Amino acid sequence: MSGHLTILPVLLPFATGVLLLLVPGRSLRLQRAIGLAGVLLLLGVAAALLAVSTQGGPRVYHLGGWPAPFGIVLVLDRLSALMLALTAAIALFSLLQAVQGQDRSGPLYHPLFQLQLVGLNGAFLTGDLFNLFVFFEILLIASYCLLVYGSTAPRLRAGVHYVVLNLAGSSLFLIAVGTLYGMTGTLNMADMARKVAAVPAADVPLLHAAALLLLMVFALKAAVAPLYFWLPSAYAAASAPVAALFAIMTKVGVYAIVRVYTLVFGAAADPALGGLATRWLLPISLITILLGMLGAVGVRELRRMQGYLLIGSIGIMLAPIALFSAGGISAGLYYLVHSTIVMAAMFLLSDLIAKQRGGKDDLLVQGPAVTQAGALGLLFFVGAIAVAGLPPFSGFVGKALILSAVRPTGWMPWIWSLVLVSGLLAIAALSRAGIRIFWDVDADDAPVAVRWRLLELGPTVALLALVLGITVLAGPITLFLDAAAEQLLVPGEYVRAVLGGAP
């Protein structure tokens, strides 16, 4: 079976999801049990793959037994293994929160949740550009459903924006993939890398355009300036568990950028193509940091604020990645892991807090005393410290890694000042929010009778514990990420693994 381990992250949720479709909608308990079991299994598989990925080079799975580049291949390397593990972890805690009741506001939550995972995992594994498109579509259509889940007006409104923008993005994706196929005659990324490296000068401009169009598609998914506008409303409107799961969604865009622009348009490609991601991505990500953090300071609702903090963090992780140096990628990936986990926690937490503030909900204004101010306040304090990148949590580690990683480059002054300023703005935003919610209490405003059971705080606590975990274990983790970055910067290994020894 171990030979087939690589494809399990796709098949397992697929089977689970389809199975759940056959379970009558009324028997919610059964659905929950199956769903959770599926995710737990997935977590096991992901862990196993993480271990496998550290053994030697990329592992290739030839679907249908067809040789690359003709058939579709799945490729497992350290990066994809990392993303799979992260996804599984986030999925588990999101689902654990969802089964506390939010999966009741409509039918089909659990099948959709599983199919969402199919899309995510497939995108992280596939080595074929068009197949990547297909998995993007799966994860998108599933995310559309989960976003509008419950069909409240705000969710539908946000849904329309999210869907239309992404449909436009999908068309763009097809145009880019089509052009790349037209120019290189292949869809397999490894094969494409070879073809691109050998492309005649006259064809470079068209390839360049296609590569940039693709970058825009990924930038839209990653919510990078100026294409992030769908995110704040969508994440603010979505139910908390869904928002938490969506924390990983933007990372698909980041992953795709890392994958495609190290492999296909990496160092081996024509200089015009090789450096294009840096030329475009770095300025954009710096702007994203600024606009995201300013947004966090500017908005007046807690959930929206988290959305903007997420956008800012995307910029922070992309800036070092855009240098496409081993250190930069490694640091960026550490921040990616950190930000995904902590933002997921914050989305869950924001909802728990808002529901204890009655009519004031998540508005950052004077309001009633939060019923469980002690526990929630403590969690918020910890989460805020991590998000703002203050010690002693992973945010600080991540920023320190980023700062030292980009030091030798000419971009240092820019990245340093923006990363440091982002910290300041985050502190300003989060301290204001914390003070408004937990300290600025209106004595006349009667507290709400909502009290959370320990179980309902569980996922949030667990996620924050995970934050602590990746802080303590930062040493080994960075070692793994360094190796992952090295692997990405030597695409030859990947290409050989996929296409066989032939140079």
Partner 1 sequence: MEALMAVAVGALVACGVYLLLRARTYPVILGIMLLGYGVNLFLVGMGRVGAGAAPILTEGTSDYVDPLPHALVLTAIVIGFGMAAFIVVLALRTRIATDTDHVDGEEVL
Partner 2 sequence: MTLFLTVLLPFLAVLPPLLVRRHGDQRSRLAGLCAIPTAAALALVVAAARDVFAGAVPQASVAWIPSLGLHATLRMDGYAWVFACLVLGIGLLILLYARYYLSAREDLPRFFSAIMLFMGSMLGLVLAGNIILLVVFWELTSLSSFLLIGYWRHDEDARAGARMALIVTGVGGLALLGGVLLLGAIAGSHELSAVLAAAGSVQQHPLYVPMLVLVLLGAFTKSAQFPFHFWLPRAMAAPTPVSAYLHSATMVKAGVFLLGRLHPVLSGTPEWFYIVSITGMATLLLGAYRAMFAHDLKGLLAFSTVSHLGLITLLFGFSSPLGAVAAVFHIMNHATFKASLFMAAGIIDHETGTRDMRILNGLWRHMPYTTALAVLAAAAMAGVPLLNGFLSKEMFFAESLFIAEMRGLRPIEPVLAVVAGIFSVAYSLRFIRIFFRGSGTGMPRAPQEPPRFMRIPVEVLVLVVVLVGILPGLVIGPSLAIGARAVLGGDLPYYHLTMWHGLNLPLLMSVIALAGGTLLFLVRRKLYAVYGRVHPPVTIEAGYQGVARAASAGAAWLTGTLDNGSLQRYVLLLVGMALLAGAVPVIGRFSAGALPRTPVDAVTVAGTLMLVTAAVATAALHRHRLVALIAISAVGVIVSAGFVRLAAPDLALTQLLVEIVTILLVLLALDYLPRRSPPDTRAASRVRDIGIAAAAGAGVAALAWGVLTRPADSISRYFIEQSKPAGGGTNIVNVILVDFRGFDTLGEIAVLGIAALGVVLLLSGVDLTASRQHGEVARDRAPLFLTMITRALLPFALLFALFLLLRGHNLPGGGFIAGLMAAVALILHYVASGTHWTESRLRLRYRPLIAIGLLTALATGLGALAFGHPFLSATFTYVDLPGFGEIELATALVFDVGVFLTVVGAVMLMLSRLGEPVPESPADAAFPTEAAAWKP
* 39, two tokens: 């995710």
* 53, two tokens: 């990925």
CB 407 within 8 A of CB 415: no
Nearer to partner 2, 183 or 341 (CB): 183
| Eight-state DSSP code of residue 361 | T
Nearer to partner 1, 182 or 391 (CB): 182
160 scored as a contact of partner 2 (CB under 8 A)? yes
Using CB under 8 A, which residues numbered 174 to 203 contact partner 2? Answer: 175, 179, 181-183, 185-188, 191, 202-203
Say if residue 69 is preceded by a cis peptide, omega within 30 of 0.
Answer: yes
* 357, two tokens: 């503030």
131 scored as a contact of partner 2 (CB under 8 A)? yes
Name the segment binding partner 2 (CB under 8 A); options: 55-63, 237-245, 262-270, 352-360.
55-63
Binding mask of the shown chain, residues 471 to 490, with x at each position contacting partner 1 by CB under 8 A: --------------------
Using CB under 8 A, which residues numbered 58 to 87 contact partner 2? Answer: 61-66, 69-72
Q: How far is the CB of 56 from partner 1 (least distance, A)?
A: 32
Query: How many angstroms separate the Cα of 325 from the Cα of each of 131, 262, 371, 406, 491?
Result: 28, 10, 48, 9, 13
Q: How far is the CB of 335 from partner 2 (least distance, A)?
A: 13
Nearer to partner 2, 202 or 503 (CB): 202
User: For residue 358, how many other CB atoms are within 10 A of its CB?
Assistant: 16
Give the span between the Cα atoms of 378 and 374, in whole angstroms. Answer: 6
Using CB under 8 A, which residues numbered 123 to 162 contact partner 1? Answer: 130, 134, 137, 141, 144, 148, 151-153, 156-157, 159-161
374 scored as a contact of partner 2 (CB under 8 A)? yes
Q: According to CB under 8 A, which one of 51, 168, 198, 465 is a site residue for partner 2?
A: 168
| Eight-state DSSP code of residue 103 | G
Using CB under 8 A, which residues numbered 334 to 373 contact partner 2? Answer: none
For 273, residues 6+ apart whose C-beta sits below 8 A from its C-beta are 196, 204, 207, 208, 211, 265
Give the span between the Cα atoms of 40 and 29, in whole angstroms. Answer: 16
104 scored as a contact of partner 2 (CB under 8 A)? yes
For 473, residues 6+ apart whose C-beta sits below 8 A from its C-beta are none
Give the span between the Cα atoms of 323 and 327, in whole angstroms. Answer: 9
- Per 3-state DSSP, the chain is made up of helix, strand and coil in percentages (nearest 5) of 75, 5, 20
Give the span between the Cα atoms of 149 and 137, in whole angstroms. Answer: 18
Nearer to partner 1, 133 or 411 (CB): 133
Q: How far is the CB of 135 from partner 1 (least distance, A)?
A: 11
Nearer to partner 2, 32 or 251 (CB): 32
Partner that binds at residue 152, options partner 2, partner 1, none, CB closer than 5 to 8 Å by kind: partner 1
Using CB under 8 A, which residues numbered 212 to 251 contact partner 1? Answer: none
Using CB under 8 A, which residues numbered 387 to 416 contact partner 2? Answer: 390-392, 396-397, 399-401, 403-404, 407, 416
Residues 232, 234, 235, 238: is their CA dihedral positive or negative?
positive
303 scored as a contact of partner 2 (CB under 8 A)? no
Binding site for partner 1 (CB under 8 A): 130, 134, 137, 141, 144, 148, 151-153, 156-157, 159-161, 163-164, 167-168, 170-171, 174-175, 178-179, 181-182, 187
